[in-house]
Chains A and B, each alone.
Chain A
Amino acid sequence: MIQLNINGKSFNVDVEPDTPLLWAIREQVGLTGTKYGCGIAQCGACTVHIDGAPVRSCVMTAGAAVGKRITTIEGLAVNGVLTKVQKAWLEHDVPQCGYCQSGMIMAVSALLNDKPKPTDADIDAAITNICRCGTFQQVREAIHAAAKA
């Protein structure tokens, strides 16, 4: 049994400490917004924030996340109020299938916390998530819109 702090709440999680954080979040905690796409840190679908920094949760163990502040896609909007990134995503109709978008939004939210007015080059360097539907053009527009909001 380990204790995880997710979206401001503490959870007692019955899991072997070497279980990837992704699966502890999805299966034990039941927050399924964080997705599995590759399991080897390639696609970014599983991106969460650990103490505010973007992390691919498929390659971090649950044990290593103990004592840290974990934020998942479900923890972004507080009391149903969307963040400016989520609002920009809605306004620009970004998602297609949507499966990569939790990870995409988490990566972008971390970027904007770090660099509130990112350049295209900043975006290119920081956002390396795979989107098979190919939403990148709208993602870029929405990032700039969120930065202006």
Chain B
Amino acid sequence: MSHAPKISRRSFIISTAAAGGGLALGLNIPFGPGVVRAADGSPEVNAWVVIRPDDTVVIRIARSEMGQGTLTGLAQMVAEELECDWAKVTTEYPTPGQSVARKRVWGDYGTVGSRGIRQSHDYVRKGGATARTMLVQAAANEWKVPAPECSAANSVITHKPSGRTTTYGKVAEAAARLEPPKDVALKDPKDWKIIGKPMKRLDTIDKLTGKQVYGADIRLPGMLNAAIKDCPVFGGKVKSFDAGKAERMPGVKKVVRVEGSAIAVIADTWWHAKTALDAVNIEWDGGANAKVSSASIAEMLKDGLGAEQAFVHNEKGDVKAAIAGAAKKLEAVYAYPFQNHVTMEPMNATARYTADRCEVWCPTQNGEGALAATAAASGLPIEKCEVYKLHLGGGFGRRGAIHDYVRQAVLIAKEMPGTPVKLLWTREEDMLHGMYHPVMQAKLTGALDASGNLTGLRIRLAGQSILATIFPQALQNGKDPLSFQGFWPSGEHAFGYSIPNLLIDHAMRNTHVPPGFWRGVNINQNAIFLECFMDELARAAGQDALEFRRKLMAQHPKHLAVLNAVADKGGWGKPAARGVHRGLAHMMAFGSYVAACAEVSVSGGSKVKIHRIVAATDPGYAVNPAQIERQIAGSFVYGLSALFEQECTVKDGRMEQENFHQYNSMRIAQMPKVESIIMPSGGFWGGVGEPTICVAAPAVLNAIFSATGRRIRSFPLKNHGFQMV
């Protein structure tokens, strides 16, 4: 494993910040024309690959690492085609500013929607293949032999006829001067040696010793610290504030109003800033939103369940007639709450502003988005702005689309030109100003014929649209297709059943609470709605939950394959241990097929022990099975914490929960044993970080029903007296 010497992230940041750019461009540095160089002077073979004279291979990663393993996975893809020695691989983030200067040579920086790998596999592999071709050509030129007589493996180039060898480090300088080939062939997946292997992560060691620098840990010379309170009512503002006492407190430099809605204290240390902020007397004006409550929102959504108008996304046959003519009709209403991401590292950003340059250090899932936010808040052209990305202490979607914390940090730094200021949110601020998992209700109606066949299914969704609030340009004639994740007629969120009469529509009901992409996004509730209701229907039809589903899945072999896999390994249909009950669920999301079989027992009617989860995923290609396994296991922590414990409730227009004591998260004692089945069937690229989350809740809910006869349709389960033990 690679313990190759790295530039420490901190010194990298500070030195490059001083040099005024992440990667120095060839123009300024006297190494010769045409060669682009890394900060340490090593040549870029191309934008993706820098090779140091000691053979260290630096692979550039545009996407962000937030724990999901994308950094390692992307490096594997480049390294596979580069034919380099994996033990010599290290990575670095090119800065978003350099991306602008180099016309997006690294493509999209967005690390959202489980697409870090699946939407860049092609060009990053080509980046590796192009660099390899150039390195081989450089060696061939030096030896004055035809390049096809040379081969490359493990960072060594061999001239086959003569047996001569050289290493990448020796020819990198010459390779960097060559014209890149126009077209390169990629390897056949069956020849992969690094992709598909359980490589260890490249970013572990510093996380074990305290050395890893997160955004919250940045320290710059002369830096000040800021704490902030934004109006707890979304959309509200500061009516008045009295900072008299705070201004006299130790270390305080300035108390500032930010955008009319927030107060920030700038001080020598963050603790001083936070303590002084608590001493500022702030009167808020919540405006009309201060009247909103969870109950009023629920009322509005309920109205949507019966509304005439709705966006239709999946329709087949005549569902009304099927329901009218049903031998048996079943109806149920489900509701899903607001939830906060609660990344372990609270929101933060450090900014340094001068009249002609603005720099930001921050955790972000989208460096380009952070750069745009920096430019907008600073008022400077984007060319005069720069963002230095740090590994994230969790992202889960919170730091992808909206960079409110970056905007605030820049606005605060503008109050102190030339001085870097680090803004760190308290956990309370983080919970009061999330981009929340949207609220959604669903009314499901099923029609069964006399033999218990499902002849019609109607799903009416009523609730919030993320796109309508934060990306209205992505709506399709007003419709939010993402509301229907897992329910699409085809594509990366395809519905897994063939039902002759089907209607799935969405009555959009938006609230003043800002919604966001919360790991898994809308599959979380959609999988609960669908897969719990399928169990309800199977029971009403007097059929086994697996057999009932299978009959509807003949046209969906990949959905069926993962479901069968968990049923087999989970022992479905075979006797379980005394008191143990099973539940199933499956879904397709973000291009991958996922399923779970949960085993639970319930004691005292409310204490739920989740013993074992068998989870299957077919992501097409499994780039790193060891990391996929970890994403699967982690998905159950995230998904089951949400199911049992997590809800943000609105009172007087603001969230009521402010910290973990009111918004709990699973501990190790509650962790079930997760057995993963990774079954890549090839030919497509699906996501990994998010899909599995959605089967956690319905599989467990179905098992709880089997154990207790209680069908829970609103969440979290703590509201019904259930406890995870």
Contacts and interface: CB of A to CB of B under 8 A. Distances in A.
Interface of A: 16, 19-20, 23, 26-28, 30-40, 42-43, 45, 72-74, 76-77, 82, 86, 89-90, 93-102, 105, 123-125, 127-140
A101 B208 contact: yes
Contacts, number: 173
Interface residues of B, number: 60
Interface stretch (B456-464, B557-565, B628-636): B628-636
A77 B209 contact: yes
A37 B214 CA distance: 13
Given A33-B209, A134-B633, A134-B637, A93 B201 contact: yes
B208 A37 contact: no
A19 B210 CA distance: 22
Contacts of B217: 26, 32
Given A32-B213, A133-B67, A140 B426 contact: no
B660 A130 contact: yes
B219 interface: yes
A133 B668 contact: no
B393 A97 contact: yes
Interface of B: 66-69, 200-201, 203-214, 216-217, 219, 225, 250, 269-271, 342-346, 391-396, 424, 426-427, 626-627, 630, 633-638, 659-661, 665-669, 671, 673-674
Contact of B210 (A31, A123, A132, A138): A31
Given A33-B210, A93-B201, A137-B674, A98 B391 contact: yes
A125 B208 contact: no
23 contacts: A20-B271, A27-B271, A30-B219, A35-B345, A37-B345, A38-B659, A42-B659, A42-B660, A82-B208, A89-B204, A90-B208, A96-B630, A97-B345, A97-B391, A98-B204, A98-B207, A98-B391, A129-B668, A132-B638, A133-B638, A134-B638, A134-B666, A136-B667
A43 B201 CA distance: 25
A123 B344 contact: no
6 A-B pairs with least C-beta separation: A33-B210, A134-B637, A99-B393, A97-B67, A134-B634, A98-B207
Q: From A33, A36, A102, A132, name the one whose CB has the most chain B CB atoms within 10 angstroms.
A: A132
A49 B690 CA distance: 36
A11 to B, nearest CB: 15
A138 B207 CA distance: 15
Contact of B665 (A16, A73, A130): A130
B528 to A, nearest CB: 19
A95 B207 contact: yes
Nearest to A91: B200
B557 to A, nearest CB: 30
A130 B667 contact: yes
Contacts of B636: 134
A25 to B, nearest CB: 10
Contacts of A43: 344, 660
B630 A135 contact: yes
A93 B1 CA distance: 11
B427 A140 contact: no
Contacts of B204: 89-90, 93-95, 98
B611 to A, nearest CB: 13
A62 to B, nearest CB: 10
Contacts of A73: 209-210
Given A98-B212, A129-B668, 18 more contacts: A19-B271, A20-B271, A27-B269, A33-B211, A35-B214, A37-B345, A45-B344, A73-B209, A73-B210, A94-B204, A97-B345, A98-B391, A99-B394, A123-B668, A135-B630, A136-B633, A137-B671, A137-B674
